[in-house]
Amino acid sequence: MKLGDSLGRSRRRRKKPGASEAEPAGDAAPQGEQGEQGADSKPSTADGDDIFAPRPSLGSETKESRGWGALGKLRVRDLALVAVGLALLGWVVGYGIATRIVFPAPPPPGDLFEVPDLRGLGVASAGERLAGAGLQLGSVDSLQHPSVATGLVLGQSPLPGQVSPPDQPVNVTVSAGPQMRSIPDVRRLDRERARVVLETSGFVVDIDTAEAEEPRGRVIDLVPPPDSVVALPAEVRLVVSTGPPVVTMPLVLGLEQAEAEMLLDSLGLVVTDVEEVFRFGRDQGIVVEQQPAADTELERGSSVQLKVGRRGLGREQ
């Protein structure tokens, strides 16, 4: 038996699923023809496949699977790039919406003019100066000021030297003059109460003193006089009593009694008591003690006691 016949029979025994039934052996070609065919061509299977044709190896299948894995990695990378691109596109679109619709940029400024200094001008003069600078006068407010004359500009907005568009008005504040107030009568009040009343009314208080019959510490006069209308802040001087006039007790020791009494009377002091005390020698009729002591400050009319030297027993007069 030839090699081709044996291979053909073995091939027919293990037919592939779904393959058609082989023809009966009786229909096979004569051996002579088979031998000639086997001599001229390579052996083949019943379905015409070459039994010596190379089959796909296991290595080729592994390479093919590796190719699919690389393709999957490329697809993941592409998807990541697409996601990043979409995120950037969303940010750009959101930024555009925010800057143009939600928070639009202000329109570019037009002509700007420097604001002139209006302080010290009247309202009419201020309006003319603004018109000459290409600007317009806005609201006019008033404020009392102690030193700026009524009707003159105290302040302005915008400030001098700043720039402003022509459609933005310049607002000014003019002086309403000083605040006027009447001086309250605080005479017969003590110094501290009078000070509180005047300072609460907006005055600046100064204190002066003078001797008077009124009790010490009582207000006896005001300068300017009470009920005078003055501009605030104004200074008011209080004249406060230091009490009745005081004198300094002189030293009358060593003077004769009559001479001492004359001196004390000239100072407004009254000798109310003269006591005689025993003394030797030249102290006869001489003041040897006095009360109060010398240099004591006394009000006029205060009493003074003297002691005068006499020979013999002392006696009061």
More confident residue, 15 or 123: 123
CA 6/CA 46 separation, integer angstroms: 12
> 0.85 exceeded by the pTM?
no
Pairing between strand 235-241 and 270-278? Answer: unpaired
CATH number of 180-241: 3.30.10.20
Domains 180-241 and 247-310 agree in fold: yes
pLDDT digits (tens, 9 = 90+) for 236-267: 999 999 888 888 999 999 999 999 999 999 99
Delimit the domains of the chain by residue range: 1-15+30-53, 59-105, 113-175, 180-241, 247-310
pLDDT at 32: 42
pLDDT band at 7 (very low <50, low <70, confident <90, very high): very low
DSSP 274: E
Non-local (6+) Cβ contacts of 278 within 8 A are: 309, 310, 311, 312, 313, 314
CB 300 within 8 A of CB 245: yes
pLDDT band at 37 (very low <50, low <70, confident <90, very high): very low
CA 274/CA 80 separation, integer angstroms: 128
On the question of pLDDT at 144 being above 50, the answer is yes
Residue carrying the six token digits 């995120």: 87
More confident residue, 215 or 59: 215
- Nearest-10 Cα torsion for 101, 105, 107, 113: 160
Compute the average pLDDT of residues 27-38.
Answer: 43
Q: Which of the residue ranges 14-18, 38-42, 226-230, 244-248 has the most confident prediction, judged by mean pLDDT?
A: 226-230
CATH number of 113-175: 3.30.10.20
- DSSP-assigned letters across all residues of 115-162: PPP-TT--HHHHHHHHHHTT--EEEEEEE--SSSPTTSEEEEESPTT-
CB 123 within 8 A of CB 153: yes
Looking at domain 247-310, its CATH architecture is: 2-Layer Sandwich (3.30)
DSSP 39: H
pLDDT at 13: 52
pLDDT at 52: 54
